[in-house]
Structure 1
Amino acid sequence: MAPSNQERAAREARTRLRDYQARQQAHSERIRRRVRDNVIAGAAVVLVIAGVTAAQIFYFDGGPGSPVASPAATSTPAPSSTDAPAAEGQNTGDVPPATLAENRSWTGTLTIDDIPLGIELDGAAAPQAVSAFIAQTQDGFFTGTSCHRLTTSGLFVLQCGDPTGTGTGGPGYNYGPVENAPADNLYPAGTIAMARQGGNGYSMGSQFFIVYDDTTLPSEPGIGGYSVIGKVTSGLDALKTGVIAAGTADGSTDGKPAAPAVISGVTVQ
């Protein structure tokens, strides 16, 4: 017996309903996948932005030895590191013993872009920092590395000693506390000091900076300023007319030097 028109219509209606429900389910699944993909993509973008921001903060503000300029010397000299309360923290990694500095002056040559700089290190005033610098020099740690940061406004430093050339590298250990920071926060031209992270007196490693023009750097309560390990005794004018005069690669007042600024050797005795 052939189905009636009503039965055929009912079957067709059921078929259309099933097709409609299947299409709706497929559509809903596509929407869920799209929402999921958008969430994942959004999270990835956030992570990338956060990573870039953190890298910039670490390099320019919180990385080892990013000195922050002070517009002028304070009217009341800050206490020297020997007068300030001991900074909390501890050495990490295989830090060279402070006795390597032998409580004496060391002389030598630091060569940057074939410009020999006569240097003198004060092992009595900054025994831990000078000992680390001597150990790194004797290991040839600095040879072939590039100075990665030049500042030309407010503070006047050339920062070196990072084997990665990024401002985030070091020798695999960190030490402190700050030693031999100037009581008046003034770092005269020719000063050689150790770089460190802001707020962390135990973050020194291998990065150091050469002050090529008088610069005032703030001292942090309970931490101090920056460990002065010595001074440039000759060749500073040649460095200023060479590497410094070339400016930064991007023309900014704080960035990678336009000149290669490669350290070809360091000797001390």
Structure 2
Amino acid sequence: MSSKREREREYERRRYEEWQQRQVRSRARHHRQRIIAGTVVGALVLVIGIAAAVVLTSDDTPPAAEPTTPVDTAAPDAAARTGNGGVVPDPAAAEDRTWTGTIQLAQGPVEVELDGAAAPQAVANFVTLAREGYFDGTGCHRLVTSGIYVLQCGDPTATGQGGPGYSWGPVENAPADDVYPAGTIAMARVGNDASSMGSQFFLVYEDSQIPSDSAGGYTVFGRITSGLDVVQAIADAGTVEGTQTPVDDVIIEGVETQ
């Protein structure tokens, strides 16, 4: 009898030990599955996070306006210079008169005439920044050679995102027919935002029709009187493939106004 009970106890003991082993294996398996699942979820979160970062910071997205529209942004980059102490210049500084001046590019001088009567805010802004040396050493970062024909300058960061630490508006002296003749000097701005002008401007080297948007046209504040051939030569050299960056480094060495 005792022998039979001992065999039964031994049998139950082995069953219990096997059950324990199965439990251990089961817990280990579930633990591995949780680790794998956590790793997969973590990887997915990482991928989603990276994708979101790319969407938010991609340089491939076009400017606020169409690529054929000169633009500027009001928020200055960390490396941007502050102009006029970050305060919008008084339009009275344009003195309601015609100004003359020279934009000295590395490629040669561009003589200009500025209309302080028709665009007092823009001229006051340009003259004030020029006198401070704000434009000195900055690059003309954008060259458009199709659709419209402009060389965009005035961004100390050369990214299209720089400015003087302030923005202003509204649009002044925009052409009613949206035609900007060769030699026109106009302010760049963000599409559909009339109060986003800062320091960036563009030089038109061939007649261009630039459509107005909900904010209107673009502030024309001057014209090139000599040196259009300098800008044309920069355009003829072309852009870096796949970009609107001029092949030649176009640096403003200085701006004089009187």
TM-score range, shorter chain: 0.7 to 0.9
**Distance in 2 between the 1:194 and 1:147 partners?**
14
**Distance in 2 between the 1:63 and 1:5 partners?**
88
Question: Residues 65-85 of structure 1, C-alpha deviation per residue, up to 9 Å, x if partnerless?
Answer: 339xxxxxxxxxxxxxxxxxx
Equivalent residue for 1:73?
none
**Distance in 1 between the 2:147 and 2:16 partners?**
85
Greater shift in the superposed pair: 57-66 or 45-54: 57-66
Q: Does 2:109 match 1:116?
A: yes
Q: Does 2:208 match 1:215?
A: yes
**Distance in 2 between the 1:106 and 1:26 partners?**
79
Q: Which structure 2 residues correspond to residues 68-147 of structure 1 after superposition, within 5 A?
A: 94-147=87-140
**Distance in 1 between the 2:230 and 2:70 partners?**
24
Select the residue among 148, 153, 157 that pairs with 1:155. Answer: 148
**Distance in 2 between the 1:178 and 1:59 partners?**
17
Q: Which runs of 4+ in 1 moved over 6 A?
A: none
Equivalent residue for 1:189?
182
RMSD between aligned alpha carbons?
2.3
Displacement of 1:137 in angstroms is 0.6
Q: Work out whether residues 184 and 224 of structure 2, in 8 Å CA contact, stay in contact via their aligned partners in 1.
A: yes
Query: Structure 1 residues 257 and 62, CA, compared in 2 at 3 Å: closer, same or farther?
Result: closer
Q: What residue ranges of structure 1 are gaps of 5+ in the alignment? A: 68-92
Q: Does 2:224 match 1:232?
A: yes
TM-score for the superposition, normalised by structure 2: 0.86
Equivalent residue for 1:263?
252
Q: Work out whether residues 64 and 167 of structure 1, in 8 Å CA contact, stay in contact via their aligned partners in 2.
A: no
**Distance in 2 between the 1:64 and 1:205 partners?**
16
Q: Work out whether residues 58 and 168 of structure 1, in 8 Å CA contact, stay in contact via their aligned partners in 2.
A: no
Structure showing greater radius of gyration is 2
State the AA in 1 paired with 2:237.
A
**Distance in 2 between the 1:220 and 1:171 partners?**
24
**Distance in 2 between the 1:59 and 1:261 partners?**
24
TM-score for the superposition, normalised by structure 1: 0.82
Displacement of 1:268 in angstroms is 0.4
Equivalent residue for 1:29?
34
Question: Residues 39-82 of structure 1, C-alpha deviation per residue, up to 9 Å, x if partnerless?
Answer: 32222232133124476233773899339xxxxxxxxxxxxxxx
State the AA in 2 paired with 1:258.
V
State the AA in 2 paired with 1:111.
Q
State the AA in 2 paired with 1:190.
G
Q: Work out whether residues 65 and 191 of structure 2, in 8 Å CA contact, stay in contact via their aligned partners in 1.
A: no
Q: Which structure 2 residues correspond to residues 194-209 of structure 1 after superposition, within 5 A?
A: 194-209=187-202
Aligned residue-pair number: 240
Displacement of 1:10 in angstroms is 1.9
| SS at structure 2 position matched to 1:58 | coil
State the AA in 2 paired with 1:128.
Q
Q: Does 2:161 match 1:168?
A: yes
**Distance in 1 between the 2:128 and 2:257 partners?**
10
Q: Work out whether residues 63 and 167 of structure 1, in 8 Å CA contact, stay in contact via their aligned partners in 2.
A: no
**Distance in 2 between the 1:65 and 1:152 partners?**
12
Percent same amino acid at aligned positions?
43
Equivalent residue for 2:79?
none
Q: Does 2:250 match 1:245?
A: no
Displacement of 1:107 in angstroms is 0.5
State the AA in 2 paired with 1:36.
V
| SS at structure 1 position matched to 2:221 | strand
State the AA in 2 paired with 1:233.
T
Displacement of 1:113 in angstroms is 1.6
**Distance in 2 between the 1:17 and 1:61 partners?**
66
**Distance in 1 between the 2:171 and 2:244 partners?**
25
Displacement of 1:96 in angstroms is 1.0
